[in-house]
Amino acid sequence: MTATTDGSTGALPPRAAAASDTAIDSTTPAAAGAPQAAARAAQRATDFLLSLQDAQGWWKGDLETNVTMDAEDLMLRQFLGIRDEKTTRAAALFIRGEQREDGTWATFYGGPGELSATIEAYVALRLAGDEPGAPHMAKASRWIREQGGIAAARVFTRIWLALFGWWKWEDLPELPPELIYFPKWVPLNIYDFGCWARQTIVPLTIVSAKRPVRPAPFPLDELHTDPARPNPAKPLAPGFSWDGAFQRMDKGLHALRKVAPRRLRRAAMNSAARWIIERQENDGCWGGIQPPAVYSIIALHLLGYDLRHPVMREGLASLDRFAVWREDGARMIEACQSPVWDTCLAAIALADAGLPADHPQLVKAADWMLGEEIVRPGDWSVQRPGLPPGGWAFEFHNDNYPDIDDTAEVVLALRRIAHHDPVRVDKAVGRGVRWTLGMQSKNGAWAAFDVDNTSPFPNRLPFCDFGEVIDPPSADVTAHVVEMLAVEGLAHDPRTRRGIEWLLAEQEPDGSWFGRWGVNYVYGTGSVVPALVAAGIPAAHPAIRRAVTWLESVQNDDGGWGEDLRSYKDVKEWSGRGASTASQTAWALMALLAAGERDSKAVERGIEWLAATQQEDGSWDEPYFTGTGFPWDFSINYHLYRQVFPLTALGRYLHGDPFADRHQGSGAARKPPAEAKGTE
């Protein structure tokens, strides 16, 4: 493992050879030749992946993020008065295990220390009984002070501290609950925010209005640069700038708080509470993700909902299902769970690797996916009120927020499986295609959850200093939709062609595409090239050739591909650069194979790297984070990525594209679903 200039470990320096710890030599299976090595690796990977399937038909790998999930879970339990010794001990064990040598916590493997994550982890360990003078705690607090202390932390961290009086509410941006009344044509209405931000902001307007403070169990003076003046005022930006304008608007909202009619504020909070309760899922969670659930529970509790109330009881129970208990007794909290995504990707991988289309485990997966179809309207219908429902979400329970990416990949998975009820499959696919086409944005592309969710204002709010709060179209999601539409016989549909034109216009000068939901340019390029070829763009097209040239230029000396999350911050130095990983190597191979490069040296070396780094049980190890929630700000290690994508690449190397016959010529061999003809 190499060290970076900022002291972190795991990621390799920019423009370095980026060789992985596993080297290829004459003793590896790859020495027999790439085809033989690929066949052996694919068989072992197939057996391993089949062994992971749940009896109900789904797959789900752990979804690893960072310790703020675990710290906030403990702080929530402290706030509600339900923190217990077993949970605290297990969470602390996990958090301590993630601390770096310099005393900090990072937000991704090998990344630099991150201030807010370090503060929250430190507070959680204080709750667990770790003393400030302990060496690991003293290192952390010293580093926190060097970075500016609590005052320099993001808003969300300071909200958590305000709950216990460690920060003043009046020194936080104001979030008025009256936002709930803004119609959708008014800037900064709740539907201007992406669905994940919307679900968080609505309950936080209640918390902001109530400004609760629970007695702090200990002081945090050691985390302030100046304990006598712990909340230093930040200078205002110039009034003619956007930041300055929104800072002054926030000051106005603080003043308005003192004169806002109490009856209106109570009514707004009650309306927000109804909005929250209406969106609670059948399993008690909100949107299938942990942060909105946490803030919704706090908000409802502040409005008088007893912990024994069914809404609260089921909400708290749902949080326990985000916990992953490890063999050493540690407890990791998932920010979300990904069974639909993992299942469709696993089915695609197995089918592409040659598993018979009527294999019982594939059929069982199809049965489960069909049962997860969403058949009722959700928040998306605010912008598309006339569009009939359809599609799939990411999680076990999330009927309010189906997503376009999952829907596209589920359709691609179902089309690979010989199901015993093809009529049922056709109807579900038809509804999914119709819904997806209806969710196309004005520019011809697709976002993850919403239509034309591109307002420039939400990201300007002082409150929004962490991650994306809007959901604009992205190349990776659009690519998956285009590929799905091509398979469904809609390659020449005007709506598909608009998506293709958008993708071609979005290509970077170096030949790559930006990856919104995966890291980063390798993911974007690995998504777009197969989609364009599937839709009939010839491999000789200049855009495809530029992509091939770029992928070949960033291949590591060991034969694999990797890209560090720093490429979201420093494109010039890190684009396509990083230690080789199984998932990113697979993405590059999928693009090169689609571009007709099967017999190239780059593909041969990539296949050999996958074969050589495979473990005896058929799996791959991948500590690096190759998924994103918010580019740079919130990173994800999908533990199943390291299994499904290498198997997909190996399968396509061995057997070719399973839909190649449909992509030849018109790309429209399949009769388009009848439902697709009448969308908005």
| 582 DSSP assignment | H
DSSP secondary structure of 8-41: -BSSPPTTS----SS---TTSGGGG-HHHHHHHH
Q: Tell me how crowded residue 623 is: count the other CB atoms within 10 A of its CB.
A: 14
User: Are residues 417 and 355 in contact, defined by beta-carbon separation less than 8 angstroms?
Assistant: no
- Smallest CA-to-CA distance from 597 within 542, 660, 653 is with 653
Residue 635: in which H helix or E strand, if any? strand 634-638
Burial class of residue 433, CB neighbours in 10 A (0-12, 13-18, 19+) = buried
Cα 458 to Cα 470: distance, rounded to the nearest angstrom: 7
**N- to C-terminal Cα distance for the chain?**
53
What mean pLDDT do residues 494-512 have?
98
Helices and strands (H, E) in the chain, number of each type: 24, 5
Which tokens in the block code for residue 218?
A: 């200990």
Q: What is the tens place of the pLDDT at every residue in 126-159?
A: 999 999 999 999 999 999 999 999 999 999 999 9
For 574, half-sphere exposure in the C-beta direction (CA atoms, 13 angstrom radius) is 19
Report pLDDT digits (tens) over 403-455: 999 999 999 999 999 999 999 999 999 999 999 999 999 999 999 999 999 99
pLDDT bucket at 663, cuts 50 / 70 / 90: low
Pull the structure tokens for residue 107: 């937000």
Report d(CA 97, CA 99) in Å as an integer: 6
| Catalytic hit among 70, 379, 405, 476 | 405
C-alpha distances (whole Å) from 294 to each of 83, 148, 298, 446 are: 14, 28, 6, 29
The per-residue pLDDT for range 389-403, each reduced to its tens digit, is: 999 999 999 999 999
Q: Which amino acid, 353? A: A
Local confidence band at 466 (pLDDT 50, 70, 90 cut-offs) = confident
3-state SS assignment for residue 637: strand
pLDDT category at 32 given cuts 50, 70, 90 is low
For residue 490, the one-letter residue type is L
* Stated pTM of the model: 0.91
pLDDT at 5 > cutoff 70: no
Per-residue burial over 525-540, b = 16 or more CB atoms within 10 Å of its CB, e = otherwise: bbbbbbbbbbbbbeee
CATH fold label, 64-229+238-333? Glycosyltransferase (1.50.10)
The pair of structure tokens assigned to 565 is 């999350």
Contact 343, 638 (CB under 8 A): no
Dihedral (C-alpha) 295, 566, 18, 621: value to the nearest 10 degrees? Answer: 10
**Do 60 and 338 contact (CB within 8 A), yes or no?**
yes
Q: Using N-to-C axis directions, what is the helix angle for 195-210 and 290-302, rounded to 10°?
A: 30
H-run or E-run covering 648: helix 641-655
Class for the domain spanning 29-62+336-453+474-662: mainly alpha
* Residues of each domain in the chain carrying CATH 1.50.10.20: 29-62+336-453+474-662, 64-229+238-333
pLDDT at 483 over 90: yes
Per residue in 60-108, pLDDT (tens digit) is: 999 999 999 999 999 999 999 999 999 999 999 999 999 999 999 999 9
CA angle centred on 50, ends 47 and 54, rounded to 5°:
155
> How high does pLDDT run on average in the chain?
91
Residue 25 has pLDDT above 80, yes or no: no
Whether 405 is a known active-site residue: answer: yes
- Mean of pLDDT values over 584-613: 98
Q: Is the pLDDT of residue 11 over 80?
A: no
Chain-centroid distance of CA 570 in Å reads 20
323 pairs with which residues across the strands?
A: 333
Q: How many residues does the chain have?
A: 680
Contact (Cβ atoms closer than 8 angstroms) between residue 307 and residue 71: no
pLDDT of residue 372: 97
Coil/strand/helix, residue 5: coil
Q: What is the distance between the alpha carbons of residues 247 and 330, in angstroms, rounded to a whole number? A: 42
Cα separation, 207 vs 295, whole angstroms: 8
pLDDT band at residue 30 under the 50/70/90 scheme = very low
Residue 658 one-letter amino acid: P
pLDDT above 50 for 680:
no
Q: Give 80-83 contacts, CB < 8 A, sequence gap 24+.
A: 80/297, 80/298, 80/301, 80/307, 82/307, 82/316, 83/127
pLDDT of res. 2: 36
Question: In terms of C-beta density within 10 A (0-12 exposed, 13-18 middle, 19 or more buried), how is residue 93 classed?
Answer: middle
